[in-house]
Amino acid sequence: MSISRTHSALLLCTAISLLPLAGPVRAQDAAAQADGTTTLEKIVVKGKRVKSANAVADTPLASQTTAEDIRKKDIGSIKDLGNSTEPGVDYVDAKPGRPGGLFIRGLGGARVVTLIDNIPVPFFENFARQGQATTTLSNTNSSFDFSSLSTVDVVRGADSSRIGSGALGGALVLRTLEPEDLIGEGRDWGGVAKTTYDSEDRSVGGSLAVARKIENTSVLFQGSYKRGNETDNKGTADIYGTRRTKPNPADTYESNLMFKIRQDLEGGHRIGLTAERYSLRDRSDMKTLQGVSVSGSTYRIGDYRGYEDTERDRVSLDYEYEAPSTDGMIDAANLSLYWTRLSKESGAGDRLTNNSLYIREDSMRNSAFGIVGGLESGFELGGVQHTVRFGGNAMTTDFSQELFANTAGSTSPEPSDTPDVSGNS
């Protein structure tokens, strides 16, 4: 017991002797802070621009395919998309008496919507000519080039509140490339190039996309070109007439050009201009109809050809906003003032054995001028994070259709199958 009391006494004495030293130490620290105050410079953290979630595709019903997936899996068509990353998506080629186009879970046509940068792609087809071999117009949902895309979102199911009218079967939501998609961290330029070969139609193509950033200005240019032939089948009868089983010889030419310029402003604002042009041309040697009787005569062997052209143009003024902090009322916003035009033209014909002309041509065009946009706001209430989104699209459209016929030497513009329509939505 005496040893324990001795140890306790020593510890107590040590503690008491150290107490006077604690005060001067604290006083010296306080004096140092008062005399040597250092004001740090403002630190600016810069990073890659991160877009907010797309309101249209931000749903459990949607799945996404990125540009990296498109390049790695060599996705060059909607068929490739459905066979690789997006089950339930298919594309059917149009044939006489059977319309084709994009299908999502079995629904297609006007029940499926295609959006490119939130701008709807018009859908139209000529029901009156579905039985024709050469003047059927359809497949407007596929008038885009995969090499110009940064993401592909597939929305399955009806959700017109997010997409707009016509989304009974779903939607294909496409985002085109932006400069920051090509420019890597710490660089002021970037690009990607690709060459492709498809044994299905023996097509060869190439694409190039480059971007450059100079201070707060970014510029992007994308271009692609592909040339192919008819899609082969298992037919063996390489003859003229309706008993032919091999496909008609065809040449296809597909191209796409896109230009973007973006200007970053203070406070998270960005303005820009986008211009795009897509073209698809098909030229066919209609051997299945050569030698077939028409108006008392027949098409001469080697003198009956068909064609189908698709062109889509778009120009838009774009605005984007990403809140630099989380204490604002609006977290993100976007707005686009756009003009777009989609036209399709098809026809066939040539000289008959009596040396007279027999030609039929059909064309459709849809032009639209509109504005599309939305905003996003997030807040916390009751320990739960909430997000509110507003969006809308207003446009004025003009649709026209023309039919031309030269039947056995008599030339006349025939009445169109559908009336010209102008409207607002």
pLDDT, position 328:
78
Please tell me whether residue 168 adopts helix, strand or coil conformation.
coil
Cα 118 from Cα 51, distance rounded (Å): 14
Cα–Cα dist 121/342, whole Å = 8
**Identity of the highest mean pLDDT range in 121-135, 162-176, 229-243:** 229-243
Query: Looking at residues 312-330, what average pLDDT do you find?
Result: 89
Least confident window among 56-65, 148-157, 173-182, 198-207:
56-65
- Average pLDDT for the chain: 80
Confidence (pLDDT) at 318: 96
Please give the pLDDT value at position 218.
95
194 against 165, higher pLDDT: 194
**What mean pLDDT comes out for the span 248-270?**
93
- pLDDT at residue 41, as a whole number: 62
Joined together, the tokens standing for residue 125 give 């087809």
**Phi-psi domain of 271 (left: phi exceeds 0; alpha: psi -120 through 50; beta: other):** beta
User: Angle at Cα 280 formed by Cα 277 and Cα 281, nearest 5°?
Assistant: 135
Each residue's pLDDT tens digit, 296-311: 567 788 888 888 899 9
| Residues written for the chain | 425
Asked if the model's pLDDT at residue 40 lies above 70, the reply is no
Whole-Å CA distances, 288 to 198, 201, 293, 346, 411: 25, 19, 12, 17, 25
Q: Residue 189's pLDDT band (boundaries 50, 70, 90)?
A: very high
- pTM comes to 0.79
pLDDT above 80: residue 239:
yes
57 pLDDT band (50/70/90 cuts)? low
**What pLDDT sits at residue 219?**
96
> What pLDDT band is residue 420 in, cutting at 50, 70 and 90?
low
Amino acid at 232: D
Bigger pLDDT: 333 or 359?
Answer: 333
Residue 304: predicted pLDDT: 82
Tell me what pLDDT residue 128 has.
55
Q: Which residue has the tokens 């692609």?
A: 224
Domain-wise residue ranges, the chain: 62-424
Would you say residue 93 has pLDDT above 60? Answer: yes
Quickly state the pLDDT bin for 212 (edges 50, 70, 90): very high
170: closest CA among 71, 87, 77, 53?
Answer: 87
CATH number attached to the domain at 62-424: 2.170.130.10
Quick one: CA torsion of 106, 112, 118, 124, rounded to 10 degrees?
140
Residue 190: band (very low, low, confident or very high) from pLDDT cuts 50, 70, 90: very high
Distance CA 200, CA 242 (A): 24
Report residue 12's pLDDT band, with 50, 70 and 90 as the boundaries. very low
The full DSSP string for 219-282 is EEEEEEEEEEEPPP-S-----SSTT--SPPPEEEEEEEEEEEEEEE-GGGEEEEEEEEEEEEEE
pLDDT band at 260 (very low <50, low <70, confident <90, very high): very high
Pairing, β 112-116 against β 170-176: parallel
Q: Region 342-362: what's the mean pLDDT? A: 82
- Residues 192 and 207: their CA atoms lie apart, in Å, by 8
User: What phi, psi does 96 have (nearest 5°)?
Assistant: -55, 125
Q: What is the pLDDT of residue 73?
A: 87
Task: Give the pLDDT confidence score for residue 174 in this predicted structure.
Answer: 93
Q: What type of residue sits at position 235?
A: G
Res 119: pLDDT: 92
The SS3 assignment for 22 reads helix
Q: Using pLDDT thresholds of 50, 70 and 90, give the confidence band for residue 182.
A: very high
Summarised one tens digit per residue, pLDDT across range 96-137 is 556 678 888 888 777 888 999 999 998 877 655 554 555 556
- Mention every residue, 6+ apart, whose C-beta is less than 8 A from residue 307: 281, 282, 283, 284, 345, 346, 347, 348
Q: Are strands 384-407 and 357-381 parallel, antiparallel or unpaired?
A: antiparallel
Is residue 266 pLDDT above 50, yes or no? yes
Token digits of residue 262:
């973006």
pLDDT on residue 380: 81
